[in-house]
Copies of this chain bind each other. A is one copy, B any other.
Amino acid sequence: MADPRFFTVAGPFTLARLAEISGADLAPGADPASEYSDVASLDQAGPGQISFLDNRKYADSFLASKAGAAIVHPDMADKAPAGMALLLSKDPYRAYAKVAQAFYPVPAPQPWVAPSAFVDPTAKIGAGCRIEHGAVIGARAEIGQRCRIGANVVIGDGVVLGDDCIVGANSTVQFAMIGSRVNIYPGVRIGQDGFGFAMGPQGHLKVPQLGRVIIGDGVEVGANTTIDRGAGPDTIIGAGCMIDNLVQIGHNVQLGRGCVIVAQVGISGSTKLGDFAAAAGQAGIAGHLTIGPGARIAAQAGVAKNVGAGETVGGTPAVPQMEWLRQSALLSKMVRRKG
């Protein structure tokens, strides 16, 4: 159970209501009127709680679970402990996400502007926004409705945010046009100069960075991540992208819709990722490349060439994942033979 010091649980909900919320189906024998007061992990759930099984690695926990109900794939239905009510879904994790959102809804912000916040008189602030202590909002900025601007956030002149955005404490946003439902975590840096200069033995000469950062609807940007503005073109983050912590996104990068960028990935300048491409933790992608839609880049891979749609690559320099695994296996074998 989530610590009530930090979380407030809604509910209880009947199983019928949870089926409706999640789009899952009631399994035969499950009582639609039974009530559940919370979500919990398989290990920790009790009779009044609902859990889920998504990763078969945890099948043992499922068999031993005392959860009153669980959301599972239909294939697992006949393995459930006796007395456990089941909701069946082909995507149990997504169904669980909806149920958990129902138990732990994000309340609308309580509209307020902290007396210590500075909002430039020329800025436009939508209805229902909450602006916390020490936040600074620059000239001509436009903030949509119901946004939460965290404490000590700095939003630069002219920045535009859509509705229902969250800007986490101590983050900075400059030279940016941001959609709705964007969640910017604490410490994020958006819109600073890209790393552009003319190198030379007499000293490096700064090149003005004249583009912006454009972020689509529903994007999340993880804590302390940095997204530089374009050098001339814009840096673009497509709708629905999920970006983890400590990621670096260089100037002129374009991410399509729904890309998943895991922690500490670096994407160099002017590289483009297609829709739903994904890069696992600490991967690096060189500049001026094209990564196709749905491509997958393994953790720590170093990508130096274009990657085709749907391809999976790994290693440094990155090669098709199967080839990389064979390289690793071959090296291991050769060393053992000599050993």
Q: Is A218 an interface residue (CB 8 A)?
A: yes
- Which residues from chain B contact A2 at a C-beta distance below 8 Å? 210-211, 232
A226: Cβ under 8 A from any B Cβ: yes
Q: What is the 8 Å Cβ interface bit string for chain A, positions 8-44, against chain B (1 contact, 0 not)?
A: 0000000000000000000000000000000111001
Closest 8 A/B residue pairs (Cβ): A94-B198, A189-B223, A2-B210, A154-B169, A226-B245, A248-B263, A172-B186, A97-B207
Closest CB in chain B relative to A323 CB, distance in Å: 6
Q: Does A82 contact B (CB under 8 A)?
A: no
Minimum CB–CB distance for A108 against chain B, Å:
16
A157 in contact with B212 (CB, 8 Å)? no
CB-defined contacts of A211 to chain B, threshold 8 Å: 2
Complex contact A192–B197 (CB within 8 A):
no
**Interface presence of A250 (CB below 8 A):** yes
Q: Which residue of B134, B264, B336 contacts A266 across the interface (Cβ within 8 Å)?
A: B264
- Decide if A41 touches B263 in the complex (CB within 8 Å): no
Q: Is A246 a contact partner of B244 (Cβ separation < 8 A)?
A: no
A151 within 8 A of B: yes
Q: Are A263 and B250 in contact (CB under 8 A)?
A: yes
Q: Are A185 and B192 in contact (CB under 8 A)?
A: yes
Q: Which applies to chain A's interface (DSSP): helix, strand, loop or mixed?
A: loop
A57: chain B residues at CB < 8 Å are 288
Could you tell me which residues of chain A, from 236 to 265, have a CB within 8 Å of some CB in chain B? Answer: 240, 242, 244-246, 248, 250, 258, 260, 262-264
Q: What is the CA–CA distance of A244 and B2 in the complex, to the nearest angstrom?
A: 29
Pairwise interchain contact B316-A327, C-beta atoms closer than 8 A: no
Place the interface of chain A in its size category: 35 or more
A212 in contact with B6 (CB, 8 Å): yes
| Minimum distance in angstroms from A180 CB to a CB of chain B | 14
Q: A266–B246 Cα gap in the complex (Å)?
A: 10
Q: A281-B268, A299-B286, A327-B335 are in contact. Are A152 and B170 (CB under 8 A)?
A: yes
> Does A132 belong to the interface (CB within 8 Å)?
yes
Contact B168 A170 (CB under 8 A): no
Residues from chain B with a CB closer than 8 A to the CB of A204 are 240, 242, 258, 260
- Are A226 and B222 interface neighbours, CB within 8 A? yes
Is there contact, CB below 8 Å, between A208 and B100? yes
